[in-house]
Amino acid sequence: MTLYLKYRPQKIADLDLEEVRTSLEKMVKGGNIPHALLFAGPKGTGKTSAARIVAKVLNCEKNEKKLGEPCNECEQCLSIMKGSNIDVVEIDAASHRGIDDIRLLRESIKLAPSKARSKVYIIDEAHMLTLEASNALLKTLEEPPSHVYFILATTDPEKLIPTIRSRTTIINFKRASKKELTESLEKKAKGEKIKFEKKALEAIASFSDGSFRDATKILEQLIDEGIKLEFEEVKKYLDKLANFDLDNFVQALSQKDLDFLLESISKASEAGSEMELLLDKLLLRLRDELIGSLELGEESALFKRSELIQLIELLLEAKREMSSLSDFECLPLEIAIIKWCGEVEEKGEKDGSETKNEMEAEEKDKGEKVSDLKNTEPEPVDSKITEEMWRNILIQVGKVNASIEALLRAARPENFDGQTLNLSVYYKFHKEKLEDAKHRQILEMVAAKVLSRPVRVVCSLSAPPTRKVGEKSIVNSKPEAKENLVDVAKNIFGS
């Protein structure tokens, strides 16, 4: 178990942010928790942990007559801590953001709780809801059933529609102070019975940009690598994490030098740099560029203001995706850089090579200029997704997640228009698994790397293909693979 999970706050008194702790304590003491709460603040500041604690406060068996801290011993508390309580529902709005998802939610809240006193819906990344879904949710927030509570968590409250913000009680989760981060690290170091110099923990706190999660991640890595928590040793480690020429990287971003940028990321990763921390530093630097240009009233020396906004948005998207790719964390950043540099056509021209599309277009019209090819219609799927390409996607996916590779053996690429890869999937179960947000993100990012362009994956159900005797199938990446449902299931769940 990671330190972040092992030492996750389980009571209001355990929360590291003083203002949040005080606000929630007052609510509980007053015996009146609002039916709609909005937890707003940067990632890694404890929003989800606080939401689960509130759910325990509302349902703890010892709080039946009067609200207080959860006991963390009763059936309700334990099931919420394990994530198995059917009356406490956590929804990721990034992957369940449509009006149909909210309609289902509105239907389910009409039902009484199964075992708990209250139903609690924790909606993470609530700002990702579509406008239609937000309006549908608003109707529920205005008049929720007495047994229902909503806790919305978001890193970007300004993207929520104003009427939702006005219907909720907002609790702001600010970036942690150096003091709060240091105290949090001290608890964990003492809990692990590890000697430390306070100055070393303060150095980690300064490096972590107000995030308890990032600070804990660094502490865990230091412990795993057997590095003493002494100031000089920790400073050397942090310097290694920062072993990345940020100035040259930003300069290369302004010039869209794809080769240099990808090589820099690769070198930093090989040197042991934490990609998420590196990305944080880059985002802060670009933010300073943007704010500086606004304060001066003129464009940055390196970027137009619109370019900075576009680049920051791409990097923020990469940052969101990194959390689900711990074993392949440099990939979202690489994809963002490829998008920023104009994808693959420019790189192909720079290398003096011709794409397959260019060669086919030349066969149609010898006099057509290569520069005009970007405006041609995408070629049919057969010229885009070859058996070799599909096999490569399967192999690369398997390196990240073997279960997804197994699911893909019961699917085939139907067509690809240069942006959307349509997969025919043979079984409903496999389709649902592949459409799961985390699985789809991994598949899309791996496919994007193999095909050297951003890819969106769409799945549809279809019957397995009928093959002639001896015919080779593109579905299987391994000769011994079989296409029946039992064998594919074994690949996913084990025999």
**pLDDT of res. 384:** 62
* Dihedral sign of CA atoms 58, 62, 67, 73 in order: negative
Encoding tokens for residue 453?
Answer: 């362009």
The span from the CA of 154 to the CA of 43, in Å, is 9
The span from the CA of 190 to the CA of 206, in Å, is 20
**pLDDT of res. 167:** 92
Instruction: Taking each helix axis as running N to C, give the angle between helix 75-82 and helix 47-59, from 0 to 180 degrees, rounded to the nearest 10.
Output: 160
- The domain segmentation of the chain, as residue ranges, is 3-172, 178-241, 246-340, 381-465+472-493
Instruction: Taking each helix axis as running N to C, give the angle between helix 246-255 and helix 275-296, from 0 to 180 degrees, rounded to the nearest 10.
Output: 70
**pLDDT of res. 35:** 93
Compute how many other C-beta atoms are within 10 angstroms of the C-beta atom of residue 492: 17
The span from the CA of 343 to the CA of 352, in Å, is 16
pLDDT value at 214 more than 90: no
Encoding tokens for residue 94?
Answer: 């990034």
Encoding tokens for residue 176?
Answer: 């942690």
What's the pLDDT tens digit per position in 420-429?
888 888 877 7
Mean pLDDT of the chain: 80
Of residues 409 and 368, the one with the higher pLDDT is 409
Give me the mean pLDDT over the 448-466 stretch. Answer: 81
Confidence of residue 169 (pLDDT cuts 50, 70, 90): very high
Identity of the residue numbered 213: R
Give me the mean pLDDT over the 15-31 stretch. Answer: 93
Give me the mean pLDDT over the 427-437 stretch. Answer: 79
Q: Which residues, 6+ apart, have CB-to-CB distance to 48 below 8 Å?
A: 90, 122, 124, 153
Ordered DSSP codes for 60-118: -GGGSSS--S--S-SHHHHHHHHT--TTEEEEETTTS-SHHHHHHHHHHTTSPPSSSSS
pLDDT value at 97 more than 80: no
pLDDT value at 243 more than 50: yes
Encoding tokens for residue 385?
Answer: 């997704």
Confidence of residue 386 (pLDDT cuts 50, 70, 90): confident
**pLDDT of res. 4:** 82
What's the pLDDT tens digit per position in 189-206?
999 999 999 999 999 998
The span from the CA of 495 to the CA of 489, in Å, is 8
**pLDDT of res. 277:** 72
Confidence of residue 103 (pLDDT cuts 50, 70, 90): confident
pLDDT value at 457 more than 80: yes
Give me the mean pLDDT over the 410-414 stretch. Answer: 86
Please name the fold of domain 3-172. Answer: Rossmann fold (3.40.50)
Please name the fold of domain 381-465+472-493. Answer: GMP Synthetase; Chain A, domain 3 (3.30.300)
Confidence of residue 448 (pLDDT cuts 50, 70, 90): confident
Confidence of residue 292 (pLDDT cuts 50, 70, 90): confident
**pLDDT of res. 19:** 93
**pLDDT of res. 342:** 79
User: What is each CA distance from 7 to 73, 180, 185, 206, 220, in whole angstroms?
Assistant: 17, 15, 10, 20, 12
**pLDDT of res. 248:** 84
Q: What is the pTM of this model?
A: 0.54
The span from the CA of 407 to the CA of 475, in Å, is 10
CATH 1.10.3470 fits 178-241, yes or no: no
User: What is each CA distance from 168 to 87, 96, 429, in whole angstroms?
Assistant: 21, 20, 37
Compute how many other C-beta atoms are within 10 angstroms of the C-beta atom of residue 167: 19
pLDDT value at 230 more than 50: yes
Give me the mean pLDDT over the 470-478 stretch. Answer: 39
What's the pLDDT tens digit per position in 127-168?
888 888 898 899 888 888 889 999 999 988 888 999 999 999
Give me the mean pLDDT over the 406-433 stretch. Answer: 83
pLDDT value at 27 more than 60: yes
pLDDT value at 75 more than 50: yes
